[in-house]
Structure 1
Amino acid sequence: MKKTKLFCSLVALACVFLLQAQRTEIKGTLIANDDVEGIHIQNKTASKYAISDEKGEFSIAAKAKDTLFISSLIYQERTLIVTSEDEKSKSIKIKLEEKVSALDKVVVGKILTGSLQSDLENSDAKTEINFYDLGIPGNTKLPLTQNEKKLHDADGGSWGHLGLGFGVNFHKLLNKISGRTKKLKNIVELDDRDKCINKLRVYYESIIFEKDTLAKNLRDEYFLFSQEDKNFLNLCQEDNDIKLLEFLQQKLKAYRENLDSTTNN
């Protein structure tokens, strides 16, 4: 029985290789109004995968009657059949349409001004009302940034089956092997650092430099120096005003020491 299963598996595998050998590389182009980099293209018929570049271009082994599946976080999924003309010209153009986000947030009560004192005075709510109490679908998370969407798309994707009793997430695997996932994680982290340091600069710059005489042209460099600290993002996530202010003051002292040593040398 085991020998029969092994033989059948080998035959199936040989058939897959034989079918793939008859396919040619087709150059494709994704057409859309927004970002077209990092979109997954799957040849479901041949279990082949590709990822589009920054121009929306990709290359995938295919032949006529193969089924291509295009998936992305910001575009609607597309399924199409490769035609004999596509195979003959070895090229294909695919138009993508953006996903339309449904209304998923509801504002209950009065519109707030942003002033804590004013909002407290104008608010007459005695208990907090949320989406779940009202039975209304809602979302309390901020929408993903463009780079976060790219990372989510690269580190997700659907599972493909090899026909041997196990599955592989080819999208995720390809992105890890190519280094795309790591690159996007670094970009998202840099975005987070920039976002946090800009917020801290608005809140604390006047306090930090109330008595300090650091030239204005050096302040940008100081804040960049501060956000490169390995503990910076953890402190931002804690959102503790005292710790953040102490951190910025310590970094200012360290920055000045580095500046003095460079000047003396």
Structure 2
Amino acid sequence: MKRYLILLTVLLISTVGFSQEEADRVLGVVINASTDKPLESVNIVNLNQVIGTTTNSKGEFSISAKVNDTLHFSYLGFKSIKVRVTNDWLKFGSSNIELTELALALEEVVVNQLKLTGYLEVDIAQVPAVNDNYRYSISGLEGTGYEASKESGLTKMVGSLFNPADFLHRMFGKKPNELKKLKKMKEDDEIRNLLASRFDREMLTVLLQVDRVDLDEIVSQCNYSKGFIQTANDLQILDAISECYEEYKVLSRGRNRKI
């Protein structure tokens, strides 16, 4: 009798475990709201678990999620949306997610024409300066170390060791969960591939829960040049912030030991 009870208990535990495993994934299909056609390669990120996936050729997706997790859907030319995972979604299976197209608009571009005088010293002053700052240890960039210019490399390097990371900590000091997300984002290949192809900072601001202005300020305070901030993809920005904070932790441990 005891053997039967043990066997029954094992079967029940296995069944419950299997059900919970199945319930930890949500299924769905992403479609164009105006045409009802499926959208392929839509980027989907679970903001709570910091994992990502994309839709297949039929617009279908599957991602690990729990009740009350928030999924972020983004696709070029369409308005990004957030969707909360509910008990009904987990219970009843696949759900249709509709994305709405954005109106295309061209931004006005202003071209400033140089007015040359014929005097070399005057004309050279009108030419925009070439940014010779460089920064290493960032995805897509070579080398390792802090960004610095040829003229003030030592000054910027010394300053970067004490000021920028402190600013980063002040920004995230009350948001420890966002700091943990930095590491998770770097470890998830799907998210890294997604960020490497983006330059709009939308996914970073959503994941880290900061404004675009604050995000740019963080990178600037970490002694990255304006040119880097303007041209880097989202993955490079993520690596820049992550590296800055890791160096902050090293310096903080050193300070605590001295104290």
TM-score with structure 2 length normalisation? 0.35
TM-score with structure 1 length normalisation? 0.35
Q: Which of 1 and 2 has higher RCO (CA within 8 Å, sep 6+)?
A: 2
Highest CA radius of gyration, 1 or 2?
A: 1
